[in-house]
Chains A and B, each alone.
Chain A
Amino acid sequence: MSTITSGRQQEMIGQDHPVIAPGHNFISVTEKIASIVLSRRTPFGWVIGATITFVMVMMLLYTITYLVLTGIGIWGNNIPVAWAFDIINFVWWIGIGHAGTLISAILLLFRQDWRTSINRAAEAMTLFAVACAGLFPLFHVGRPWLAYWLFPYPNTMGMWPQFRSPLMWDVFAVSTYGTVSLLFWFTGLIPDLATMRDQARHPLVKKIYGVLAMGWRGSARHWHRYETAYLILAGLSTPLVLSVHTVVSFDFAVSILPGWHTTIFPPYFVAGAIYSGFAMVLTLLIPIRKFYGLEDMITLRHMNQMGKVMLATGLIVAYGYLMEAFIGWYAGGYEWFMIRNRMFGPYAWSYWLLILCNIITPQLLWSRRVRENMLVLFIVSIIINVGMWLERFVIIVTSLYRDFLPSSWGMYAPRLWDFTMFFGTIGFFLFMMFLFIRLLPMIPIFEVRMLLPQSRVQSKAEAAAHD
């Protein structure tokens, strides 16, 4: 338990805003978080939001049905731009899916106690984002009913997949990441599910949470095992945070296409992923926090820290863009043409919009006042989300559409079904978030309780006893 909250750190970082507002005790924390799910009336806003996003989910299902029946020709993809919205959206969602695990695992290992009240929501977001991401590679293939051929499974054809292909690595990276994230998230939920079970009044609800809590009784042995498992999972997740987007970046870096064949891609993709992930966490948490009155637990301190992370990763991304341009110039030939074409070709708007969204806008985050102004921070986070989507557009489309032979240059324009698929996944993502905040404690109750001064004294004493 001592691993999570360390008083020393608390003192060092927390000069200004606390990670939890004063005046809370164990009961009030539990009450506040659990009541959202159990006792408070379902807010009307929730119903509206869930309905709208549910309609979007239906739109997604309709699109997928039509897609499978007709072929991906309903999208705007062509030759030379054989990947477009499908892979842009895939990479974008995967990137978003990075924040959760980073917050939960890496910040856990670095003992950042401010992660505590946001990690659950961030992890849920990760899961839903990975689910959205997974839809794209599955349905973007020409024959999705055969997509399982990408898995190495024993078969009568006696065929392995092609282990040299980055798409194959993607399958492993994303499915591993999805699985570990799910386990990590669920493991972290267990003590809280038990709390919910104990708090619930309706017998059926009690039963459901009880089953999910897997018999958690809060014994010392339980806690011991839980802590060990959680730490191991955190350790497992940490390299995954780095590997997933590294592997995704290989989809491009391994190819020979100017604009893709770039050694800086792995770190720059990972930084970009964290960047977009934090932006998405902010985009979601700022309204939730306001709406459910959770300012006590998701405090300005959290916002401030996340703003800083975005600024830092944003600067790494900016460095990436700069190096791309520099190497393009340095390499000359096709590379230099590609860079100039990105900057001044027919898709120049996307490049400069990207620079505006991803490099210029986040400079606002240098200011603490911006980081603590929820409205501005919210807008900045949305702009960064747009910017990160544009980044993938720039990488994928503006590399493909003009490659080596000018005779086969083409252009790309999305069609209606590109948009319904994309917004459909956004709808699915938000709908899942709506379900999540309605059905599960969005803030880890037990971990927040540990942030309280009462628990700190105890844990210190305990720690001293162990030492």
Chain B
Amino acid sequence: MAKEATPQELVQIRPRLSTLLHKAQQERGRRFWRSLEELSETPEFLEYLQREFPHGAAEWNDPVGRRRFLKLMGASLALAGLSGCVYQPQEQIVPYVRQPEEIVPGKPLFFATAMPFAGEAIGLLVRSNEGRPTKIEGNPEHPGSLGATDLWAQASILQLYDPDRSRTLLYLGDISSWSAFLSAIRTAMVEQDGKRGAGLRLLTETVISPTLADQIRTLLQKYPAAKWHQYEPVTRDNVRLGAQMAFGQPVNTIYRFDQAARVLSLDADFLFRGPGHLRYARDFANRRRVVATQRDMNRLYVVETSPTITGAVADHRLPVKPSEMESLARAIASGVGVSGAGGEAANAKYGSWISAVVRDLQQHRGSSIVIVGDEQPPIIHALAHAINAALGNVGRTVLYTDPIEANPAIQTESLRELVADMEAGRVEMLVILGGNPVYNAPADIPFRAALERVPLRVHLGLYRDETADLCHWHVPEAHYLESWSDARAYDGTVSIIQPLIAPLYQGKTAHEILAVLNDQPDRTSYDVVRDYWQRQHSGGDFEMWWRRALHDGIIRDTAFQTRTLTPRAEFPAQAVNQPARGFEVVFRPDPSVYDGRFANLGWLQELPKPLTKLTWDNVIYMSPRTAERMGLDRVVGSRGGEIWSEIVEFRFKGRSVRGPVYLVPGHPDDCVTVFFGYGRERAGRVGDKIGYNAFAVRTADAMWSGAGGEIVRTGQEYQLASTQLHFLMEGRDLVRATTLEEYLRDPETVHKRDHQPPQDLSLYPQYQYDGYRWGMAIDVSACIGCNACIVACQAENNIPVVGKEQVARSREMHWLRVDTYYEGAPENPTTYFQPIPCQQCEVAPCEVVCPVNATVHSAEGLNDMVYNRCVGTRYCSNNCPYKVRRFNYLLYQDWDTPTYKLMRNPEVTIRSRGVMEKCTYCVQRIQAAKIEAEKDGRRVRDGEILTACQAVCPTEAIIFGDLNDPSSRVAKLKAEKRNFALLGELNTRPRTSYLAALRNPNPELQGA
């Protein structure tokens, strides 16, 4: 029967696939298809669809037959009860002929790998359910992760399964084959042979893979006239130039925040991004965790322009214009004794602030850090090297090593050179390995126009993006979860990247392309990577060593040795800047979609940006006062529950871009921040045509900031979607905060306004939780608001994306949110982050009001949600004082896209429309651990269960465990005086409690 139902063989469809995939990509909006046959729309299939009966089935056209048919029908109706009504189509399943080792169906396995991104590798452990990677965790053994991951690593799993990823090799937009590609390249390379590769150019992003670097070196040896260029829009050129300026050589700086008592950040968002950020966040938070055993905390000063989460957790934040930064850095350098640094201008303006900070830093010689943002001009990096040296930090809290990039070239220059060559017609063949320079090259480097002059253009990329469109050949890139490779962490430690799944769409890796260029087309990336390491390996059993490296996720002892370097302490005098007219501008990568490479990931698009909580858009940040001056404050803001803004035109150096403006407290006046990553043309169905493209106004001489911008109002209103409309606490005790000094003097200060109703104030008897008593403690002090937990929760719990319109209608589905509250003057407010998962109240208001028992209390104190039982009265949400419940107002979950089916966590129900859902404390993980413990006849150990949000948290702000075990971490945290219950006065007795935020202000700057 199943045979009959098969209308066609796949063979028949394949020839058409090329055209139809092309067609599918051109079509706007979603088009769902159930089978390749349907997608192909072949005449045979259309006929099959139209035909009532499969071809060849007897159709009773003769009257006698019809009468007989009726008779049979009558009989079968009578007998229907015997067979049941459901007719299951016959399907073939293939059992394992030989059971693979270690695979127990239903039990996930974890494999170590690493994600190369933004110039560093983050070590990962990836969960694999029956061969499908489903969730990304950090690798606790990896120095750059310690078990944590960031939002981008979390979302990369969605990228793997993104249905818009490039699926086929294309030649001039048509489907082609790998063999055709090979012969084309071979021909071209033979041509290059004679010229020593003079016409060959390679363009990559920052290469941190030793193997790839080795392959490129081999290529360049064979073709000495060929050139390798690197470009990445979020480039660390200034860091390299700064090191060059200070040391005369490229240097990688590593910071030891675990050793630092005082930190001064000059616009460094080191808690959020940049190499080592996860490790830095962990070390930094550990020095801030005031508990019974640790009574002191570090102090963070942040000088910055655009408000960041690092600035938000600072003890003192100083908002300055970008043009003031150099003078300020010079003033601090002078203050700590770097001669000839200057900085008088800043001293005049910020004298007391600077002197207080300088004094504080000097009191902590050798245990302080001055860290500079990657975006700051080289001179500031050079100054910081000098300051750290002057403070005796070098070798203690600031370490220098060789650069982790294989080739620390200045990328903007590299790109400029390439474009010049392309324009001069010197480039005959350009191989672009990753990256999207057509979209993100600086506006004054005419990459796009120059590219079109190259006779042979090859692009390897995950998506058929803007660059792919302009290339002759487009090779779909294998996602890192499908690839063999290797990459270095922030300290140089190498991880082998191993695939979790075979490439879904015949993707190729950069290694394989280079193997082709090196005339080794048969070599797989596995061969290449393994060979490289075999060559590096000396002594011992390589197989054992290799297996160990794969298992651990790191190659031990590959971290770079620290080097002793002394910075030059001569600085060019500060150029006298004409006071710039107009707006100063700061360019930043978007906190969610970064430089646009993640634009097609709904999770990140819908992720509320850390401070503004905006989703699905990039905006132009502006200070409230500046907006007031321009009359924009009346237009921008929340109106009737909707966030409205005005589109303004930002003009900069003769170019302009239009985007919605947004008022951000703490932003310096007369400046704007412009974000990259949006305005994509060829991102995919999710990411296309949203936001504005800031690369259109970014020039090579103002890569990160510039002066002389202009803002012109257009009067055009624009709706934004935000998940939080109100950022003030209204005098309520929601985030409790105090200073370290105050807290040490009187720990009860946190509870001054407590009103705890007596426990026996109930008609119902107290429930005794004899077994486990799950609880969670969230340290508001440690939370840096990085959002990684939200994405982790989304990935773990199969949470759908709802789209901008639904977010604007307050229907986002995130189970976990991070509330942001401001306190103080809008010029420079104090900011608090408070992650809010379900509070798992012991006296849960939601439970009593559910008429169908769909939300009930477990014997371990969890507030369980029974999706199957929920009819959707939404009463529970109304009665939830924390508003953590989320309702499927429409069918938000994607039930059709085949790749998403692979991605989902099989342990968590996919919720359909009309059902309430909420955080469960990752009950599936609790159950799995309990089963394991029960098998061993023991209790679940502390730390055995990590909720998804806890596992991902770089600062360990979220701790989960058994409250019945007094030695558990969570029980100890809850015993802290800082511990408080959110809205405890309602007698909900939440199992999630918070540890009050502590700040450690400099007494000299109090009130300043």
Contacts and interface: CB of A to CB of B under 8 A. Distances in A.
Interface of A: 70-74, 76-83, 137, 140-144, 146-147, 149-150, 159-162, 164-168, 171, 251, 254-257, 337, 346, 400-401, 403-413
Q: By CB atoms of chain A within 10 A, which of B806, B810, B916 has the most?
A: B810
B878 A82 contact: yes
A63 to B, nearest CB: 16
Given A73-B890, A82-B877, A142-B872, A150 B883 contact: no
B853 A76 contact: no
A147 B982 CA distance: 34
A79 B810 contact: yes
A255 B849 contact: yes
Interface string B842-853: 000100111111
B882 A141 contact: no
A427 B998 CA distance: 60
B853 A83 contact: no
27 contacts: A71-B890, A71-B891, A71-B913, A72-B914, A73-B889, A73-B913, A77-B889, A79-B886, A82-B877, A83-B874, A141-B872, A142-B872, A142-B888, A144-B871, A161-B853, A162-B853, A251-B875, A254-B849, A255-B845, A256-B879, A257-B879, A403-B883, A404-B732, A404-B983, A407-B726, A407-B727, A408-B883
- The size bracket of the interface on B is 35 or more
Contacts of B836: 405, 407
B725 A141 contact: no
Interface string B820-839: 11000000000000101000
Contact of B728 (A70, A140, A406): A406
Contacts of B670: none
Nearest to B866: A159
B42 interface: no
Contacts of B881: 256-257, 403-405
A70 B879 contact: no
Contact of B849 (A167, A403, A404): A167
Q: By CB atoms of chain A within 10 A, which of B734, B820, B872 has the most?
A: B872
A400 B850 CA distance: 17
Contacts of A74: 890
A170 to B, nearest CB: 8
Given A257-B878, A406-B729, A162 B852 contact: yes
Given A83-B875, A255-B879, 19 more contacts: A71-B889, A71-B891, A71-B914, A72-B872, A73-B913, A79-B877, A79-B883, A141-B872, A142-B915, A147-B871, A165-B848, A255-B875, A256-B845, A256-B879, A257-B878, A405-B881, A405-B982, A408-B882, A408-B883
A410 B871 contact: no
B811 interface: yes
B873 A141 contact: yes
A79 to B, nearest CB: 6
Contacts of A411: 638, 640-642, 725, 810
A143 B871 CA distance: 5
Which 4 interchain pairs have the tightest Cβ spacing?
A: A142-B872, A411-B641, A142-B914, A73-B889
Nearest to A148: B871
B291 interface: no
Contact of A409 (B725, B878, B983): B725
Nearest to A74: B890
B817 interface: yes
B871 A80 contact: no
A71 B883 contact: no
Contact of B887 (A82, A144, A165, A166): A82
Given A159-B869, A405-B881, A413 B641 contact: yes
A407 B640 contact: no
A143 B872 contact: yes
A168 to B, nearest CB: 4
Given A143-B914, A410-B725, A412-B641, A77 B848 contact: no
A80 to B, nearest CB: 5
A269 B214 CA distance: 80
Q: By CB atoms of chain B within 10 A, which of A76, A159, A411 has the most?
A: A411
B986 interface: yes
Interface in B517-573: none
B885 interface: yes
Nearest to B640: A411
B784 to A, nearest CB: 17
A74 B730 CA distance: 33
A79 B885 contact: yes
B686 interface: no
B428 to A, nearest CB: 56
B868 to A, nearest CB: 9
Contacts of B882: 404-405, 408
B889 A78 contact: yes
A458 to B, nearest CB: 53
A166 B877 CA distance: 15
Contact of A165 (B726, B849, B914, B982): B849
Nearest to B755: A333
Contacts of A171: 851
B852 A150 contact: yes
Nearest to A165: B851
B896 to A, nearest CB: 17
Contact of A410 (B810, B819, B850, B878): B810
A406 B732 contact: yes
A409 B809 contact: no
A251 B878 CA distance: 11
A80 B870 contact: no
Nearest to B817: A407
Interface string B885-903: 1111111000000000000
Given A71-B890, A412-B641, A405 B851 contact: no
A57 B863 CA distance: 42
A406 B869 contact: no
A74 B805 CA distance: 12
Q: By CB atoms of chain B within 10 A, which of A71, A77, A81, A160 has the most?
A: A71
B869 A149 contact: yes
B613 to A, nearest CB: 9
A404 B985 CA distance: 11
A407 B821 contact: yes
A340 to B, nearest CB: 11
Contacts of B810: 78-81, 410-411
A141 B845 contact: no
A70 B889 CA distance: 9
B724 interface: yes
Nearest to B849: A165
Interface in B125-139: none
Contact of B883 (A83, A405, A412): A405
A162 B874 contact: no
Given A77-B889, A405-B881, A141 B871 contact: yes
B811 A73 contact: yes
Contacts of B913: 71, 73, 142-143
A144 B870 CA distance: 11
Nearest to A163: B851
Nearest to A82: B874
Contacts of A80: 810, 877-878, 883
Contacts of B983: 404-405
Contacts of B728: 406
Contact of A79 (B724, B849, B870, B887): B887
A168 B845 contact: no
Contacts of A70: 890
B711 to A, nearest CB: 29
B236 to A, nearest CB: 35
B805 to A, nearest CB: 10
Contact of B870 (A140, A143, A166, A254): A143
B778 to A, nearest CB: 14
A252 to B, nearest CB: 9
Nearest to A396: B878
A251 B732 CA distance: 27
Interface in B970-994: 982-983, 986, 988
Nearest to B875: A167
